[in-house]
Structure 1
């Protein structure tokens, strides 16, 4: 399975890197391919290193403005002209989307894939790994949107929330 992962390129604390590393090991051992932003820094590097070390493939989709940060040993690296093209290619090259801890770029990516799924433009599973409660606020907001009638379908049809890396892969492989 080609698994797109949205996550930070920032260097983060062990409370985020540990679960990301565990997730990456499961991806590689499961024979899956990581489709990610292509960066060789921060949490993106941690996950790519873990997938590579456990036998998985790496497909990077980077963007021209970040070309210098792209990983050199990916099995495949695509450089897009802009961020919109990058997001579209990340989604089109994957069969599932997993969201790890990240900043504004990650938030932009997850809201876009949720919006596209809401409109039936894709039916890929989306899993949000809520490491150390990082996404508690977002989950609360999404539940409020559902409760107050802002979502045309149940939230559980849009996204699955997981507390641990093993839960992510169990859901995707079921």
Structure 2
């Protein structure tokens, strides 16, 4: 399975890198291919190194303006002209998408993927690895959108939130999204 991973290119604290490392190791050990932003920088590099060490094939999708940060050990490295082309390639190459902690670029990537999925332009599993509650705010906002009628289909059909890397991999491997996500208490918050 080709698993596209969105994550930060910044160096992060161990509380964020350790779960990402565990996820990447499991991805490689289970025979999946890592498709990612193609960078050696920050968490992107950590994930690539760990996945490669565990036997994963690496497909990097870089962009011209960041070519100086391209990961030299990728099995395949594609360089796109701009970020829009990069995002399109990351989605096109994916069988599933997993989102680790990240900043504005990661947020841009995941919201675009969810918007395209909402409109039925793909039906690939999307899972957010919610390390230390990093995506709690996003989950709350998305639940509110669902409850107030802004989403044309149930949130659980669009995205799942996983507490750890093993669960994230199970969600993408099962690819059914048949189990409801855990209750979040958002309904009460949304009416306030």
Give the TM interval when normalised to the shorter protein.
over 0.9
Report the Cα distance in structure 1 between the residues aligned to 2:41 and 2:62, rounded to whole angstroms. Answer: 12
Corresponding residue number in structure 1 for 2:157: 157
Corresponding residue number in structure 2 for 1:64: 64
Corresponding residue number in structure 1 for 2:15: 15
Q: Which runs of 5+ in 1 are unaligned?
A: none
Corresponding residue number in structure 2 for 1:135: 135
Corresponding residue number in structure 1 for 2:110: 110
**TM-score of the pair, normalised by structure 2:** 0.90
Report the Cα distance in structure 2 between the residues aligned to 1:152 and 1:93, rounded to whole angstroms. Answer: 26
User: What is the SS of the residue equivalent to 1:78?
Assistant: strand
Superposed CA deviations along residues 141-172 of structure 1, whole A, max 9, x for unmatched, are: 00000011100000000001100110011111
Whether 1:171 and 2:171 are equivalent positions in the alignment is yes
Report the Cα distance in structure 2 between the residues aligned to 1:32 and 1:76, rounded to whole angstroms. Answer: 15
Q: Which has the larger radius of gyration?
A: 2
Whether 1:48 and 2:48 are equivalent positions in the alignment is yes
Corresponding residue number in structure 1 for 2:183: none
Corresponding residue number in structure 1 for 2:91: 91
**TM-score of the pair, normalised by structure 1:** 0.99
User: What is the SS of the residue equivalent to 2:140?
Assistant: helix
Corresponding residue number in structure 2 for 1:100: 100
User: What is the SS of the residue equivalent to 1:61?
Assistant: strand
User: What is the SS of the residue equivalent to 1:58?
Assistant: strand
User: What is the SS of the residue equivalent to 2:3?
Assistant: strand
Report the Cα distance in structure 2 between the residues aligned to 1:172 and 1:46, rounded to whole angstroms. Answer: 21
Task: Please report the RMSD computed on the Cα atoms of aligned residues, expressed in angstroms.
Answer: 0.5
Superposed CA deviations along residues 110-133 of structure 1, whole A, max 9, x for unmatched, are: 000000000000000000000001
Report which structure shows greater RCO (CA 8 Å, sep ≥6).
1
Whether 1:5 and 2:5 are equivalent positions in the alignment is yes
Q: CA deviation at 1:173?
A: 1.6
Q: Which runs of 5+ in 2 are unaligned?
A: 175-192
Alignment of 1:19-30 (within 5 A): 19-30=19-30
User: What is the SS of the residue equivalent to 2:122?
Assistant: coil
Report the Cα distance in structure 2 between the residues aligned to 1:33 and 1:100, rounded to whole angstroms. Answer: 16
User: What is the SS of the residue equivalent to 1:65?
Assistant: helix
Report the Cα distance in structure 2 between the residues aligned to 1:50 and 1:129, rounded to whole angstroms. Answer: 17
